[in-house]
Amino acid sequence: MSEIMDLEIEAGEEIGHACRRAAEWASEHNCPIAFVFNGTRIEAAPGETVDAIRSRWWAGRYELEDRRRMTIAAERRVVEAAVEFFKMRQYSEAAYLHLLEVAVNDLLALRGK
């Protein structure tokens, strides 16, 4: 198959229209087409239906939202660990640093670093 072509999405364009354009371009050029819609990158293969492309976008959106929720939760754990230490001062410095390190590592893993 050929190199992937990028499809520019217009501001205000609906997902159905973007998927239809991607499907048409993929068939017309006989190569995969990639586009980004609301932060989710989607690829359309030649002969692929609009519904299949749209379904993949929805699945990507749910995955993106789950990742955002997990990132927010990890960030919250970092802040809570810092607040806990400074408020209660019940942990040794080593224990506090360990809590903070675990929370930061969780956050970095979620961000893919």
pLDDT at 32: 94
Report how far residue 64's alpha carbon sits from residue 85's, in angstroms, rounded to the nearest whole number.
32
* Closest residue by Cα to residue 34 from 14, 7, 9: 7
Torsion angles phi and psi, residue 36, rounded to 5: -115, 125
pLDDT of residue 89: 65
How far apart, in whole angstroms, are the C-alpha atoms of residue 9 and residue 40?
Answer: 12
pLDDT in tens, 21-41: 999 999 999 999 999 988 888
Cβ partners under 8 Å of residue 3, min gap 6: 31
Residues of the chain with pLDDT under 50: 1
